[in-house]
């Protein structure tokens, strides 16, 4: 993913619109009542899920770790009793001409339910540590514990919880590929290649699309704080309100900050283009960098920088959102 730093008259208009919505949301958050969780999200289990992925090594399309991780994700979804596992295997061309064998993997829970929610995360990792200060390391693939591994680890634990206590609604858990093979220059469409393919080949009829989607990206950083991502707030403010209000009611108001954050080109942008309103839970205003987590696209994106409490806050909040949709 990349952060957008362009300001224009259009974006100035967005700031006014989003600010008005956020003020309304702050009133809702302030009156949130405490929520009793119907299932307990296990942070240790989510942490192990992240570690398993990291132990495969970099999950770059075409590398051995990528193939091993794909098999792991499919087997875990089946182990947790999803109704159906759908794999979208294809080859896409990256901005530099590389041919990437990718696999979008989706598990469906309560497949026959009309009301559905989409939960997604990218499972690939960055092929270059291009944010390293030492330029000699720029061509080294990263392990992607946070950027790739954390969102997937949380969703696998959510799948386990939903197996133990079935929700009333349908839930689709989607792991998208080739998010992080993008050009750090200006071309935004070089990112999220798996999701771009997915929306062109949606596994839904027009009447059976999920009501909304929640993307998890970089949700395991130390002491992470999640602001309302800018695009999410503009496109789907009611969903942002729902999630942030649930976070407060779940006891995580200190983690889900009720203020606007950065504007991100991430998988949710393309899911929205596919006709499914989708928001992004992502760290965009880290106090050290004023953007992403300091480990972003560096070799420090490893297990030593994964925080169980961040995984817990996000996982329990999203789980409570699902169970509250009755």
Provide the sign of the torsion angle of the four alpha carbons 311, 314, 318, 323, taken in this order: positive
Give Cβ neighbours of residue 315 (< 8 Å, ≥ 6 apart): 41, 43, 46, 154, 157, 158
Tens-digit pLDDT profile for residues 234-283: 999 999 999 999 999 999 999 999 999 999 999 999 999 999 999 999 99
Contact 309, 246 (CB under 8 A): no
**From the first residue on, what is the mean pLDDT of each consecutive set of 10 residues in the chain (326 residues)?**
50 37 51 80 98 98 98 98 97 98 98 96 98 98 98 98 96 98 90 98 93 98 98 98 98 98 97 97 97 98 98 98 92
Sequence-ordered strand ranges (E) for the chain: 2-4, 84-93, 99-109, 116-122, 170-176, 212-217, 226-228, 256-260, 263-265, 278-282
**Per-residue pLDDT, 95:** 96
Provide the sign of the torsion angle of the four alpha carbons 297, 47, 216, 32, taken in this order: negative
Give Cβ neighbours of residue 283 (< 8 Å, ≥ 6 apart): 218, 219, 221, 224, 225, 226, 292, 293
């Amino acid at each position: 993913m990349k952060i957008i730093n362009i300001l224009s008259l259009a974006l100035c208009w967005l700031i006014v619109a989003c600010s008005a919505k956020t003020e309304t949301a702050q009133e809702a958050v302030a009156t949130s009542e405490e929520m009793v969780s119907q299932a307990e999200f296990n942070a240790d289990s989510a942490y192990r899920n992240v570690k398993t992925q990291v132990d495969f090594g970099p999950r770059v399309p075409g590398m051995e770790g990528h193939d091993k991780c794909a098999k792991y994700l499919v087997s875990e979804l089946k182990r947790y009793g999803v109704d159906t596992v759908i794999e979208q295997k294809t080859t896409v061309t990256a901005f530099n001409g590389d041919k990437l064998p990718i696999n979008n993997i989706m598990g469906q829970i309560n497949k026959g339910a009309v009301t559905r929610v989409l939960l997604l995360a990218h499972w690939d990792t960055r092929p270059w540590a291009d944010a390293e200060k030492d330029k000699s390391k720029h061509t080294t693939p990263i392990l992607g514990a946070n950027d790739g591994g954390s969102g997937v680890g949380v969703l696998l634990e959510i799948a386990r919880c939903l197996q133990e206590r079935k929700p009333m609604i349908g839930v689709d858990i989607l792991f998208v590929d080739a998010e992080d093979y993008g050009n750090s220059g200006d071309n935004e469409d070089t990112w999220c290649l798996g999701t771009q393919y997915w929306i062109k080949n949606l596994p839904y009829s027009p009447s059976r699309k999920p009501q909304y989607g929640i993307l998890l990206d970089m949700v395991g950083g130390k002491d992470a704080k999640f602001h309302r991502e800018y695009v999410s707030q503009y496109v789907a403010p009611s969903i942002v309100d729902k999630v942030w209000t649930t976070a407060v009611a779940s006891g995580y108001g200190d983690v889900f900050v009720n203020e606007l954050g950065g504007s991100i080109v991430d998988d949710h942008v393309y899911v929205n283009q596919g006709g499914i309103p989708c928001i992004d839970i992502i760290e965009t205003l880290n106090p050290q960098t004023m953007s992403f987590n300091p480990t972003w696209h560096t070799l420090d994106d490893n297990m030593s920088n994964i925080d169980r409490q961040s995984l817990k806050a996000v996982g329990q909040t999203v789980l409570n959102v699902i169970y509250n949709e009755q």
